Structure 1
Amino acid sequence: MATMTANTGTGDADTATAPTGTGAPHLAERRRELADFVRSRRERLTPEQVGLPPGRRRRTPGLRREEVAQLANVGVSWYTWLEQARDITVSAQVLDAIAGALRLDASERSHLFGLAGAVDPAPRRDSDEVPQSLRALLKQVEPFPASIQNCRYDLLHYNRTFARLFCDLDALPPQDRNCMWLAFTDADWSRALVERRETIELMVANFRNHGTGHFNEPHWRELVDRLLAASPEFGEIWARRNVADKVQEIKLFRQKEVGLLRLRADRMWLQPGGGMRLTVFSPSDDETAAKLERLRHLAG
């Protein structure tokens, strides 16, 4: 089996292997999609756009393969194999160089790494700025507690009843307004969870699942490291490597001012790829509904 090394210019080698068969059909299809996408991005560029002389007698639109290889500092043969949908392995480092050479925008870059099945070392971050329309929505659903979080459980915005459901959220520094952090480190938040152990185990499993492909990102790694340093209990659950994508059917909370609440949780993802999600707690019985009305009154 022949091999070829792509020169990245950094001393790290990326090994590409010439194919001996077609492999699984879905992998072959993804390689073809990757090849067609890269070629289409190459053909839309002109030499002038990337600082190269125009040259003469161009038989194809856009840049030549050797020009892209030069800009990305990879071997011409290796780049040709990429556009031929060969069965090669390419590192995130080389994909990063190709993305730069082809002047890909954030969406195109994400698509490139997705087709290659690689983790982007510098991924696009969804904005954490909550639109005014969603802020108004949270206010309108009161007295139902509601919040907007990202897949790291950062609390991006919440209404008045949610702010008092577990603890006084407004009194906390912004960097601590994270449900994972509070569940393991805040005494008031922990006491509010009637079925605490079941709840936190499911939270960690959901967190690990939603973090697939993100844990090399600094903001994810920082939160995990912070939790590991602060809570041996988190470390013990985290080490199990359980994953899930579900919520408890009925959540039981003990709010210190109104007592036991039986709530149903409905959540809706508001952005692709696990960005913002809306979570609304609705009462599962009349007694809880009355208590939520009282909580709204107390929240002012």
Structure 2
Amino acid sequence: MLGRMDREEMAGFLRSRRARVQPADVGLEAGLRRRTPGLRREEVARLAGMSVDYYIRLEQGRGPRPSRQILGAMARALRLTDDERAHLFNLAGEPPAPPPGPPQEVPAGILHLLQRLDDTPAYVLDAKYDVLAWNDMATALITDFSALEPRDRNPMRAHFLRPGPRSPHITDEDANQQFARLSVADLRAALGRYPDDPGVKALIAELTEGSELFRRLWANHQVAVRRSGTKKIKHPVVGEIEVHCDVLVVPERDQKVVLYTTAPGSRSHEALKLLRVVGTQDLAPR
């Protein structure tokens, strides 16, 4: 059975969400005799495939603990968002099922932000480190991502699987080591969020097979989310640039916006300004 507080909270939550959904939202005729907004209780019950009496008891705070199947059916019937669905499951004492995989669609607002940052290299990573979007300055500083196959736009693959020296454009070995350690810890955290995602599993298997360094770091079982740091990048046109790497999290998509900035007035800042003037370079793939 649900506790009294959880029953009352669930009842209020269901009533408020039912009032928000309009009949047209679920393919029903509105009719002429609706005195209150939203769906009727019997309509929600029918959409969820459950008895009207059971649903009424839930809305009155008298119902027993619903099963995961019933919770999922109510979430679909009431058109709940991902956050609302998780809240409903938590109220019922059922942890929500993990999402199917890392979201790939970058929010429009983030895409607009990238383009407005015309003096700052920036790109977007998903939870398994695939680069999903980038701006012109990222192309100029790092590589032309559009010329790469989607699977090759992954800095972890480039770092751990490329033959020869790792990340040749990054001259700071400490930064290379920090990236290796933090990215592996970040990927382990992603595995916890997406334990059944074939893309995450395939990346881990590929890195495990192809990199002794990855195998060693993976065996440490460290978990962390990548934040910020500094690195030195050797550019073929403007020379070495020391950048500060900031990571902004997009929580609703589980994505990261990576921005490279320089200290105002520094030689690196002037080099980055020159790079903006020079424009996109045809860099060798990294």
Question: Which TM class, normalised by the smaller chain length?
Answer: 0.5 to 0.7
For structure 1, the residue ranges without an aligned partner over 5 or more in a row are 1-17, 23-27, 55-60
Post-superposition CA distance 1:182-224 (Å, at most 9, x none): 2322357633342222212112323444665344345545544
When residues 191 and 293 of structure 1 are mapped into structure 2, their CA distance, relative to the original with a 3 A threshold, is same
Residue identity matched to 1:147: Y
Structure-2 separation of matches of 1:189 and 1:114: 44
Structure-2 separation of matches of 1:216 and 1:85: 36
Could you tell me which of 185, 192, 206 is aligned with 2:186?
206
SS at match of 2:160: helix
Is 1:190 aligned to residue 167 of structure 2? yes
When residues 181 and 80 of structure 1 are mapped into structure 2, their CA distance, relative to the original with a 3 A threshold, is farther
RMSD after superposition: 4.5
- For residues 1-300 of structure 1, the aligned pairs below 5 Å read 18-19=1-2, 28=5, 32-42=8-18, 62-64=39-41, 68=44, 71-73=47-49, 82-83=58-59, 84=61, 88=65, 90-91=67-68, 93-102=69-78, 104=79, 108-117=81-90, 118-119=96-97, 125=103, 127-128=105-106, 133-138=112-117, 140-141=118-119, 144-167=120-143, 169-187=145-163, 190-193=167-170, 194-195=173-174, 196-209=176-189, 213-255=193-235, 260-269=240-249, 271-284=250-263, 286-293=266-273, 295-296=275-276, 297=278, 299-300=280-281
SS at match of 1:242: coil
**Alpha-carbon shift at residue 263 of structure 1 (Å):** 1.4
| Higher mean displacement: 81-90 or 35-44 | 81-90
Contact 1:166 1:189 in 2 (8 A): no
Contact 2:157 2:207 in 1 (8 A): yes
Identity %: 26
**Which residue number in structure 2 is paired with residue 15 of structure 1?**
none
Structure-2 separation of matches of 1:124 and 1:282: 27
Question: Would you say how many aligned residue pairs link Structure 1 and Structure 2?
Answer: 264
SS at match of 1:133: helix
**Alpha-carbon shift at residue 177 of structure 1 (Å):** 0.9
Contact 1:45 1:63 in 2 (8 A): no
Structure-2 separation of matches of 1:243 and 1:155: 21
For structure 2, the residue ranges without an aligned partner over 5 or more in a row are 32-37, 91-95, 282-286
SS at match of 1:197: helix
SS at match of 1:191: coil
When residues 176 and 127 of structure 1 are mapped into structure 2, their CA distance, relative to the original with a 3 A threshold, is same
**Alpha-carbon shift at residue 230 of structure 1 (Å):** 4.4
SS at match of 1:119: coil
Tell me the TM-score normalized by structure 2: 0.66
